[in-house]
Structure 1
């Protein structure tokens, strides 16, 4: 009888958002789908935020949150799971920074830094985005990203127009 090695779990930070249909319901469902998996466990979820659009500003406001997920998946496999959840919710990628039902980004994966054709962690533009740094600071203010803590990046981020839209249990109630 051989003993199978225990799965090693790493903590990944995810950013979720959307502005078509009922994004909070879609994001809550995505989090529940991740949490039901054997290879993922939702460890923490930020407050829900209403945020002005970024990049392409002639569209409806977004809802955004961040989550910490304990996972035994490698970073690209975690991204594949997130993309599969998006597809299952009818996410269509028509234009960069455009309207969407749901978006799930892998922001960080432990302390790993990697850049492949498919995935870059830490996410290359996360520190520039108030709609990422504000919710991430709720659940991981001391998380190091690109040599600085999330709380320090947040001090420089544009958080104008970002409003709390739900407490940290918002995703369980939907």
Structure 2
């Protein structure tokens, strides 16, 4: 369901380059290869105005610093949210952006809510592991609708290796929670199940990670989505391959099948990830 649509047009010749500090984020400055031009500023201005219009709020209550429009390696544009705000029509989990230039910068942003497509990674290596996963799934039903669940796999610990092996799976959910509200609920569930955070990558009763929230890209002090290290973690990639092989990573634009094949080749060459992690 489409929940927002906005477009904007900017006359590039009328852009004052002094607007750079107001319009551009640090991420956008770093993303620009070379000198910041009027065309670049005009494009970001048009894209951000289009996004605010898609929220049906306009600039009121928003800041140009809340969002970044960045280019992928192929030149295509994607939105990075530093603050997620629902549209007046509700929650969205997909954003599409288009930008064209001649003497004007033309931008369009569309917001969409697609059922499911929010993926949570579940891991456990303490206590009764199978029961931990089942309990976590039960608690997830209290805050969302479960769409699909992968099989459980066993993998060696990642990062800190001197600890028990893990059981992992991925669950696809449908939710009306914003990304940060969902994170708060997952942290609450972890705490209720007895997780104590002592050391990075250490043993845990339960671990709940937001892997993807549709095709949204978010980066703020509390949350990074997609998961920052997704493409290097077999215990995320393999379950995702099982339940959503054609799902596309919103930054690399690679499908789960492509990511799995690349990780498999890399890991097997380095003798990584035993316990038949590559077998179905």
TM bucket normalised to smaller: 0.7 to 0.9
Deviations 1:52-104 (A, max 9, x none): 11100111100000010100100111111111000000100111111000000
Q: CA deviation at 1:23?
A: 2.1
User: How far, CA to CA, are the matches of 1:54 and 1:12 in structure 2?
Assistant: 23
The equivalent residue for 2:273 is: 160
- What is the aligned partner in structure 2 of residue 104 from structure 1? 208
SS class of match (1:69): strand
**CA shift digits 1:105-137 (9 cap, x unpaired):** 000001100101101110110111111101111
1:138 counterpart = 2:262: no
Higher helix proportion (structure 1 or 2) = 2
CA distance in 2, matches of 1:11, 1:54: 26
For residue 36 of structure 1, report the CA deviation from its aligned partner: 2.9
Query: What stretches of structure 2 of length at least 5 have no aligned partner?
Result: 1-88, 92-112
Q: Which has the higher contact order (CA 8 A, sep 6+)?
A: 1
Alpha-carbon deviation of 1:162? 4.1
Partner of 2:139: 33
Q: Does 1:65 align with 2:178?
A: no
> Is residue 86–residue 103 contact of structure 1 (8 Å, CA) maintained in 2?
yes
**Maintained 8 Å contact 2:117/2:173:** yes
**Count of equivalent residues:** 159
Cα shift readout 1:121-159 (whole Å, capped 9, x = no counterpart): 101101111111011111111111131111111112237
TM-score by length of 1: 0.85
Question: Residue 124 of structure 1 aligns to a residue in which SS?
Answer: coil
TM-score, length-scaled by structure 2: 0.54
1:76-155 equivalent positions in 2, closer than 5 A? 76-145=180-249, 146=251, 147-155=253-261
Runs of 4+ more than 3 Å apart:
5-10
The CA RMSD measured in Å over matched residues stands at 1.9
Where 2:235 maps in the other structure, the secondary structure is helix
- Kindly state the Cα deviation for residue 160 of structure 1 after the two structures are TM-superposed: 3.0
SS in structure 2 of the partner of residue 50 of structure 1: strand
Larger radius of gyration: 2
Q: 1:115 to 1:162 in 2, by over 3 A?
A: farther
> Following the alignment from structure 1 to structure 2, what is the Cα–Cα distance between the partners of residues 85 and 76?
14
